[in-house]
Structure 1
Amino acid sequence: MDMPVRPFRPPAPIPHAEPLGFASFLKTASRNPIEIWGTRAFKEPYIRGTWLGVPNIVVNDPKGVRHCLVENAANYVMQPLRQRILRPLLRDGLLTAEGALWRRTRKAIAPVFTPRNIAGFTETMQARSQAFAERISGRVGETVDGSHEMTLLTFDILQATLFTDDIAGDGETFATSTRAFLGSMGRVDPLDLLDAPAFLPRLRRLKGRRSMAYFRRLIAETIERRRAEIERGPDGAPNDLLSLLIKADGLSADEIEDNIITFIGAGHETTARSLAWTLYLLSQAPAERAAVEAELDSVLPTLSHPSEWVDRLVYTRAVFEEALRLYPPAPSLNRTALAPDRAGDVEITAGATVLVMPWLIHRHEMLWDRPDHFIPSRFLPGNRETIDRYQYLPFGVGPRVCIGASFALQEGVIALASLLKHLRFDYAGNGPPEVVQRITVQPLGGLPLRVARR
């Protein structure tokens, strides 16, 4: 009699049993924010605490999430700590802008992400993914850094779809600079946690200045080139994200630059990390990988166009969605309350910090069966419908939900199918990868994967 296959339990920081002291909390949060959480955070619907005299409320209850981020979203603005970390990178980009600027920017960008436009990107996504798969197949038997390689792939897809192959610079330099840029600039500094004045230098970010300068030069050159094309006439430039931003009413030159950096620096980074984690998870779960390969072998030949892949490759999509659950691209969605409010039985005072943490909610014992295990079947038809909309938040929720969510999901499925159609990626590390939060949830030091044919 065959024994049932036990699901794989992927690596993650172990929750601590007792609350951290002040010094320990400061050290841990600065090194790896997702390590601060104790066992209560994965068991209880709400947790109250204080930091520097400010009330902090962790909201894990889906009804509370819906109330704070959807029903009463106008009462909650971006948390100052989040802004202190992200604004030095993204300035007035869509992720960090608020109020009228955010509304104006979102309106300008929205036409790119209509369902029709997103479906129109599928052929380009498939062509670039297939070309990448063919290139990496020349490295069969070698070990590659999956994080780095997926950054190369998603950058290629991003510049082909949203920027019509018109981003200055080359992919390899871009990938290296992205890692340095987000790895240093996106880290929590102890001074941020202590609410120190902005004029005090954050030493951990100083080494990111060179990569920041690279990004700014690259974007300035890209914008200058596209402006010249637009000025040559209506047929001189494609109507892509870059052109829409340049033509948008009310966006300054700096704001255009900030939004392009947001998309190429952070927008593609989330999908790259998710793809790398998916390849790792499959390498540790032979039965799940076999199921994906069987689906690709049987279903892909019956599909006439890549626009069908997301809906028809149900197991491949479920695997990607489960990777997004275990390693959410945006692990925290934190807000500050403008006025008193109530979530469930919890009073929220004006000025309180409300912490909605996909990292916690996605692994919460109250919400998931075996939450720490890799079980893609939870996202298959028949199971997917039982998941509350507000317990699965890989792209956020409410007015500030990620504008590129459908783009990213489509890109992820197409890229995975193209890569796994003829290739396998086996984890080649000496031990489990260490999971850290920078801006995204990523493997510290990269993700060594050995390329093989199947």
Structure 2
Amino acid sequence: MDMRPEPFEPPAPQPRTVPPSWLEIIRIILRNPLELWGVPSYTLPWIETRFFREHTLIVNDPGLIKHVLVDNAQNYRMGDVRQLVLRPILRDGLLTAEGAVWKRSRKAVAPSFTPRHAKGFASQMLRQSELYAAKYERGGRDGAVFDIAVDMTELTFAILADTLFSGEIASSSGTFADDVNALLHRMGRVDPMDLLKAPSWVPRLTRLGGQKVLDKFRAIVRRTMDQRLQRMRAEPEATPRDFLTLLLEQAGPDGLTTAEIEDNILTFIGAGHETTARALAWTLYCVANAPHVREAMEEEIDRVLASGAEAIDWLDLMPWTRAAFEEGMRLYPPAPSINRAAIATDRWTSPKGEVVDIPAGITILIMPWTLHRHELYWEKPRAFVPERFLPENRNRIDRYQYLPFGAGPRVCIGATFALQEAVIALAVLMHRYRFDAAGDAQPWPVQRLTTQPANGLPMRVTPRPSAAAPA
């Protein structure tokens, strides 16, 4: 692999060399769980430990990950703490439902996210990216500073609203994207009561401020459903055949209940864009600090756009752009943890004959944050090296050592959608502008529901003088 001698190493917590005390563990989990992990989590294939008297197996070995998420997935349910955090927000949405409810929801939303259907969204993704790029033209002088973390959230929300809801989300608020951020920030945090596995009816003091925002979202979702149902009855031929319509058509005794439809709409409005937004922002930051990567991407983007290629083909025609985004997701995985619990006793044997006994009830932690930076599986694991994801190098990466979208039956249903959206957005933005880090302070990753930059990602946006807007 062609690596530069000193690739950019973006900011991240250093592995702990001394185990924290119980009191420190509580403080770290409440402040930023990414700062909890010690050297063993980045160097060993698996670790058995106890958190708050809970038996826990931290899994990094790709073979053992495959066993838990794929080969014997039916033996592993969602982890308790994860559900205590997410279910109050999403209830029986696709991310939190289990059993028969999850199967019904997955079947209902699957038609909107087949690779062929997802590619059909390319023109809308392009249109929204071009519209958003005009914000920087209106921003005033050259080199104005913008919070790219906020900007990418707004852009991906605009894309989601246009593609999945045809722009018909029933919100009168001009700060709807800000409300999404407030909801996920206030409601998506681990509370001490979650760590103690207190029943969901026990108040979570850290999340009290989020209930008002959640109630507002529920009201918006209900209005959105009502408005679309009225249109489906009054104008069946003119109603968009989008995600919203397809989901509402699943209502009935053999499909989804009204409450389950509401939960899934909230899931996609509230969280459907968040993961891609975070990954895009981190990617732009890393690219800004890796000149040879930016040069390769700009050459590739300019060449493809000059050729007149349709946006639907950009994902295949821009390997450098895709590789940079995938490397951004490696270093800053949008979903930094995957939590499961064993239903029955299980056992896994490694190719070397090592045996891992998995007792019933044990918590399984698969941490993309540590897995993606693990010394056993990655060369220069803390460095930004998109070359590792170029087509000629991809076969060196085990399917289960890289999990930005999870794996197994519950793999992210929108993976193709997100990759295409990211490449189109990066191509439009980087064709017109250069993004450079602004300010002296380095961004710091914190774990909420996603891997977010503390205090935002300020970047200086400067027009590229030789670039013309794409036709």
With normalisation by structure 1, the TM-score equals 0.97
- CA distance in structure 1 between the partners assigned to 2:163 and 2:205 by the alignment: 36
Alpha-carbon distance between aligned partners in 2 of 1:411 and 1:71, rounded to the nearest angstrom: 31
- What value does the CA root-mean-square deviation take over the aligned residues? 1.4
Corresponding residue for 1:369?
379
- 1:207-226 mapped onto 2 (5 Å cutoff): 207-226=209-228
The structure-2 alpha-carbon separation of the partners of 1:34 and 1:343, relative to structure 1 and needing over 3 Å to count, comes to farther
What residue is the counterpart of 1:282 in the other structure? Answer: 287
Q: CA deviation at 1:135?
A: 2.6
Shift of 1:170: 6.0
CA distance in 2, matches of 1:258, 1:245: 11
Residue 356 in structure 1 maps to residue 366 in structure 2: yes
Counterpart in the other structure of 1:109: 109
Cross-structure match for 1:47: 47
Match status 1:411 vs 2:411? no
Q: Tell me the distance in 2 between the aligned counterparts of 1:220 and 1:235.
A: 23
Q: What is residue 8 of structure 2 aligned with on the other side?
A: 8
> Residue 467 of structure 2 corresponds to which residue in structure 1?
none
Partners of 1:449 and 1:377 in 2: CA distance: 24
CA shift for structure 1 position 20: 1.6
1:378 partner letter: R
1:392 is aligned to 2:394: no
Q: How far apart are the structure 2 equivalents of 1:275 and 1:426?
A: 14
1:270 aligns with 2:275: yes
Map of 1:340 onto structure 2: 345
Match of 2:442 in 1: 432
Alignment of 1:25-424 (within 5 A): 25-139=25-139, 140-169=142-171, 172-248=174-250, 249=252, 250-344=255-349, 345-424=355-434
In structure 2, give the amino acid aligned to 1:75: N
The one-letter amino acid paired with 1:360 is T
Kindly provide the amino acid, as one letter, of the partner of residue 369 in structure 2. Answer: W
Tell me, yes or no, if the aligned pair for 1:341 and 1:348 is still in contact at 8 Å: yes
- Distance in 1 separating the partners of 2:288 and 2:138: 20
**Amino acid of the structure 2 residue aligned with 1:269:** E
Q: Which deviations, in whole Å up to 9, do the C-alpha atoms of 1:388-410 show, x marking residues without a partner? A: 00001000000000000000000
User: TM-score if structure 2 supplies the norm length?
Assistant: 0.93
Q: Extract unaligned runs of 5+ from structure 2.
A: 350-354, 465-471
Change (3 A) 1:261 1:4: closer
Aligned equivalents of 1:32, 1:424: Cα separation in 2:
31
Q: Quick one: structure 1 residues 198 and 222, their matched pair in 2 at CA, closer, same or farther if it must change by over 3 Å?
A: same
SS of match in other structure, 1:162: helix
Structure 1 residues 246-255 or 407-416, which shifts more?
Answer: 246-255
CA-CA distance at 1:233 after TM superposition: 4.7
Q: Which runs of 5+ in 1 are unaligned?
A: none
Residue deviations 1:83-119 (CA, integer Å, cap 9, x gap):
0011111111000000000000110111111122111
Partner residue of 2:468? none
Question: What is the count of residue pairs matched by the alignment?
Answer: 452
Aligned mates of 2:459, 2:313 — CA distance in 1: 29
Distance of 1:210 and 1:4 partners within structure 2 = 50
Whole-Å Cα distance in 2 between the matches of residues 291 and 172 of structure 1? 37
Write the letter of the residue equivalent to 1:371.
P
Alignment match, 1:22: 22
Q: Distance in 2 between matches of 1:168 and 1:10?
A: 39
Secondary structure class of the residue paired with 1:207: helix
- Cα distance in 2 between the residues matched to 1:196 and 1:102: 24
Percent identical among aligned pairs is 52
Give the 3 Å change call, closer, same or farther, for CA 361–80 of structure 1 in structure 2.
Answer: same
More displaced 10-residue stretch of structure 1: 234-243 or 86-95: 234-243
Offset of 1:147 from its aligned partner? 1.1
